[in-house]
Structure 1
């Protein structure tokens, strides 16, 4: 029979409920907390995946982990300690001042892969790396161990040199740089996580010694600082270093680590969130999520209600107001204004690290109070973002997973990138079995529908999950073994999108209803029993949180995308639109079992083929679409025609056009620069200039009245720069984010004295003196005013 078990409501929590305290404790990779959790996942080592896209991802990642060479990742650790390196340093970020961050991720990935698959080579590498770190730490003699470096002018030197400076009060902290080093405490957070995983998942007890020794060094650094100085240090991205010391306390029982974890609270961000205030607009997204994971861990250890409130409020705010249909968040790595998703569908959406961390936070919240709604989000992001983030054919990972029409994913190579999303990627695709199976009291909970086999040792049971989900509607749990017949409950999550689910035991239909998002069967189970949940799926449209006319298409849990052509070919078309009174009536299935559909007369400019977004790794795609009625489309077409006429007139009056950020136009215009970089945003190329930099280029000119026009993105902030022609400043521009959601142009009249008798001029963009930046500038045009054209 179906019993009543209602762990939570499915609707979005009211603000009062969001802030409510639930003072119970979550899970932390296999280590017991001082308090008992409401729900706990089964250890990863007890779950084995069966054939599915998730197992494919695991095996591709296992091969990549084997291709990496530990000695190359250890290169900087050894040189920092004065030891001879045993391998050449890798390229990409591992050759920059953030070097060493990948080793922490790699330790975690190896440990997770060993737990997930039993791979002994991964465990051997874990033991080898820990032994090497012990040797490095012994050579330093003070607990220090790290691989990062720092820059002093053009000189690259050991990162350890920055810490005596901090202790003297010489603290030069910005968003991603601390005294010339790229995010050192973020780097250490990754190393700590790897050491903890080595202990938990591979039984390497020596790892905790390395962690403790390093803790003594770090504690000594912060002991020399007052609280205001600590906050200045924390203004530089520091990952979840608060979580690192909370976890060190949980594992050692030493109160000094708890005191340090609580001191490393970034008040500027965490205090307002604890009070239910959204301070996320225009701050770096992934910088914040680990801080909240740290608060969640502290709440589990201390019961502090403010920490629980902050974690819950943050999760609710991000998933409701800042997230895209695939579960990812952020544009250009930053949170924009809340509820502006439709205005931020670009080629730089959805940094993969963000979703990796949001899934970790979700697990904490779920363990406090089992709520099916939390796993509705988890499943969405896990399928549609995390599977999209890896190319299983190469083992590479995507930094961004872009959603703009015509965009595509760019994947890392084996040895030349080592972005942050490579590190989180090698972890993500080592642990796809970690959140399938949970237990709460005598309830076995299935939260994800991934073919797998669970070793439920406490009951002498083996439970197999057989399913073609997310492409099939049936999920069957089979008790392949059970020591003795016994009574307990099995709870299966019923996704929030599903209507009309059914359930059967040994082929016999049961009265079915979902309570709190779960179908629960409590009975006396015996070996061989089968429980089958059927989840009817249908095509549906989902609008962005801010605009009902901007929609995405899903079938069951899977986000669909239109195929816009091969990734290795340019996309030069316009974003497609859907024109129909009822959009869903204009779709026909091509192969429902594979989630493939095609429009029938409703797409503009032509019909489209749709397939699962995550599978289209070598294709350009469109995920979001503007929908119109026939009348609305006529108005839109007229506006488009008028804009094309305006552009044609402007082109006729143009003397020269500079396409910044494009190689050939920059060569043709003899561009020179300093501390300046090409950028691409929303399909437009441009160029910026950082502090003490510039960029300049030659443009054709003529005598008479001329106007210089520059294009900017309307949400750039705190930019202040001069525009010069042949050394004379013709304008000073500030960008303060006052044109949200649009590109805009500014016209600068050019004094005729600067162009008289000239057939070319030098145009220069240069930040105003001080810590200012310029642009980005998305193109420059020199043209004659309309009134002067004969």
Structure 2
């Protein structure tokens, strides 16, 4: 959401600055360090209001328009279905599918409300404002019918019965608190759900001036406060062990808007200590926890810091940002694998089809804005721009308005797009917001003396009104594809002296600036900005040229794993249409100097083709974010010619091993694939398929199992199962025709690789049989079995199948 920042005291600003200065050194996104000759930037900054900016034709404007059309396709009454039903009112529309038809139902309404408010601010669309007002009227009617401020769309599942989510709160208030991380007493993330609703109400108040929105928020807040008032602090922490979004931010914001200390006290109490306290001590508490669960908590601490000046909250927010950007972020700016933070600094080992969850970058950009407001630094917007262009633009298809949950980086992977009315993932909701506000961070001003300095952070074609100077600003550019940027001041109330600060990206060398056609031979540089202080008048023009070239960027942990960029844009190799399979090897680049093996392809968009360095064949490269319906490769192993020869020899040895294993195989089971599972008579209970690193598999949950029939032959046989080496806390039994032959433990024993485990099958279990049933189930008292990524029965070495 967009925040209305409470002005900071000098003491609070000094605390924030200290927190930044003492944070660990940020590793950066390029080999080019920002020059600094002493800070002349303001102590704090604020973005120009979203409604002051209008986008000109560009990929960003295309994204906004595609999103606007999708927002208008959705029906508010269908999103309100459960809200009215649970209030005892007759729904006016059928419930949508996907997550809206599950126990997280209702979360989309909050995102939608925010998106409508932002879209109205960004474009002036009157229908968006009308819809938002209608939704708030309906929410108020639901509260009136409920009588106690309660309003929600979520449900709970109990014994396969779906019921009103309200029923969990009397249980919680009695101290009956049950959570498995995402489930609270049978309801999927209810406080996360409410955080989205609060955000939508606040944004409607901020951008639409809707006074009724605050009344709805206050009534709901009073209900929630009543729930937590019944709990001691240990019980509050139990509740917070379930993903709760940034509910701390909700109450911090409510306090900022009302001045009521009741809400500040609640916001402070809703601090998830298990995760946040170590961060405040600059200790990394993130490995192997769900990534996007954490980011909103830090945004909440950032908001609390802005209100209270608490230094520990600023330290935690800054340390978290530094850690995630420096240790967990991929070249596109996104983070996490399978939605979780792995061990720090292991990017090269986690390039899969399950990176990067789009909500993560949506939230990281929000956190970055907070940190920048406290202390403007170009490196913060170097990251912001990286993720904004290469992840946020990549996660929407502007032609359809649909969104990708994951934006995968594994070679041969592709984006999977949402359906308009039958998915409603979290990343659909955050996508509605992200693509309604592309103009929100282009221009910033000095928070204390807004008429003294104007900061250009993003080079997006646009026009903006700068109220502090009565000015109109205009940016014309082909950026991010072209480094020529023309900034002009078509209107200025009166001529006057102020400073224009232009961000010089960290990847850029040799930036050139001219004012009204006259070059500035040595512009003053401070903290990554070129500062132009002069007396400005209407009609003045500034041109900024940022030379762009092809460059290589290695992962922090492996210099041989690289990606290619042109200016701020990540490039990807085109591996074919998304609707066609890719079963080739991951491409590699073989050259002493990789960039010398690329030839530019003429056109407005940066494109290249390799010349005799791509293996197994040369490759065509284009901007990753635009390859929405293609299979791509973003990361590549690079080799010298000598290293490539060794690699080929190792490959030949492995292929010989696999051929020998195939000769000895009696049966092979490809778990997680429809036809093989049918062919092997798979039966399952509480079992789910998964795909990871291009391999399909299956797991089983509490009281569940999966079993399948495999062929056998007389004599000694071996069962082989494949696992991923970073699964944790798994203990499960493997049975053959009802007899346990092994108990398997998985506890991150083989990080970064798949591995095989073999189990001898007693000959008595196969004697006289042509098939046996293999069953996999959690060990007594355990919650997960597997996942198992395939099974094979084969004869010992020296024997072959008959």
The bucket for the TM-score relative to the shorter chain is over 0.9
CA distance in 2, matches of 1:512, 1:393: 44
Which of 568, 575, 578 pairs up with 1:564?
A: 575
8 Å Cα contact 2:352-2:408 kept in structure 1: yes
Q: Does 1:145 align with 2:167?
A: no
Q: Measure the CA separation in 1 of the matches of 2:279 and 2:466.
A: 39
The runs of 5 or more residues in structure 2 that have no matched partner are 1-12, 27-41
SS state of the match for residue 591, structure 1? coil
Q: Structure 1 CA distance, aligned partners of 2:301 and 2:466? A: 31
TM-aligned CA distance change 1:223 to 1:14, over 3 Å:
closer
Match for residue 606 of structure 2? 595
* Residues 768-777 or 282-291, more deviating: 768-777
For the residue of structure 2 that corresponds to 1:237, the secondary structure is: coil
RMSD: 1.4
Of 418-427 and 474-483, more deviation after overlay is shown by 474-483
Q: Distance in 1 between matches of 2:343 and 2:470?
A: 52
d(CA) in 1 for partners of 2:20 and 2:609? Answer: 39
Q: Residue 510 of structure 2 corresponds to which residue in structure 1?
A: 500
Alpha-carbon distance in 1 for matches of 2:800, 2:250: 67
* 2:707/2:775 contact within 8 Å kept: yes
CA distance in 1, matches of 2:752, 2:395: 27
Is the CA contact 2:731–2:782 (under 8 Å) kept in the aligned structure 1? no
- Aligned residue runs from structure 1 range 77-156, under 5 A: 77-156=83-162
**What is the alpha-carbon distance in structure 2 between the residues aligned to residue 492 and residue 163 of structure 1?**
52
Match of 2:716 in 1: 705
CA–CA separation in structure 2 for the residues paired with 1:58 and 1:15? 37
Residue 385 of structure 2 corresponds to residue 374 of structure 1:
no
Q: Deviations over 1:448-468 (max 9, x none)?
A: 000000111221211101111
The answer for the alignment partner of 1:647 in structure 2 is 658
SS of residue in 2 equivalent to 1:287: helix
* Contact 1:19 1:313 survives alignment (8 Å): no
Q: Does 1:183 align with 2:193?
A: no
Give, in whole Å, the separation in 2 of the partners of 1:595 and 1:161. Answer: 56
- For the residues of structure 2 that align with 1:355 and 1:759, how far apart are their CA atoms? 53
Helix, strand or coil: the match of 2:662? helix
- Structural mapping, 1:552-701, within 5 Å: 552-591=563-602, 593-701=604-712
Contact 1:512 1:519 in 2 (8 A): no
Who is 2:31 aligned against? none
Cα offset for 1:38?
1.0
In the alignment, which residue of structure 1 is the partner of 2:44? 38
Equivalence for 2:168: 162
For 2:603 and 2:520, the matched residues in 1 are separated by 27
How much does 1:14 deviate? 9.3
Q: State the match for 2:35 in structure 1.
A: none
The answer for the alignment partner of 1:545 in structure 2 is: 556
**Pairwise CA distance, 1:15:** 8.1
Deviation at 1:17, TM superposition (A): 3.9
The more displaced of 762-771 and 298-307 is 762-771
**Aligned mate of 2:546, from 526, 530, 535:** 535
2:741 paired residue number? 730
User: Deviation digits for residues 718-737 of structure 1, max 9, x if unmatched?
Assistant: 11100000000000001001
The alignment partner of 1:346 has SS state of coil
- What is the aligned counterpart of 1:258 among 245, 264, 268? 264
Task: Confirm or deny that 1:362 pairs with 2:335.
Answer: no
Distance 1:552 1:382 in 2: 18
Q: How far has the Cα of 1:599 moved from its partner?
A: 0.2
Q: Name the residue aligned to 1:33.
A: none
Q: Which runs of 5+ in 1 are unaligned?
A: 1-6, 21-35
Task: For residue 769 of structure 1, report the CA deviation from its aligned partner.
Answer: 1.9
Q: Which moved more, 1:449-458 or 1:726-735?
A: 449-458
* Counterparts of residues 185-200 of structure 1 (less than 5 Å): 185-200=191-206
State TM-score, norm by structure 2.
0.94
Confirm whether residue 460 of structure 1 aligns to residue 470 of structure 2. yes
Q: Could you say which residue in structure 1 is the equivalent of 2:218?
A: 212
- CA contact 1:73–1:89 (8 Å) conserved in 2: yes
Give the Cα separation in 2 of the matches to 1:364 and 1:458. Answer: 21
Task: Work out the CA distance in 2 between the residues paired with 1:91 and 1:387.
Answer: 25
Q: CA deviation at 1:19?
A: 10
- CA deviations on 1:168-205 (whole Å, 9 max, x unpaired) are 01100121000000000000000000000000000001
The count of corresponding residues between Structure 1 and Structure 2 is 765
TM-score normalised according to structure 1 size: 0.96
- Mapped partners of 1:304, 1:16: distance in 2: 15
Verify the 8 A CA contact 1:115 1:201 in the aligned structure 2: yes
Per-residue CA deviation, residues 598-644 of structure 1 (Å, 9 max, x unaligned), is 00000100000000000000000000000000000000000000000
**Cα separation, partners in 2 of 1:373 and 1:305, compared to 1, 3 Å:** same
- Write out per-residue CA displacement over residues 72-127 of structure 1, whole angstroms, 9 at most, x where no aligned residue: 00000000000000000000000000000000000000000000000000000010
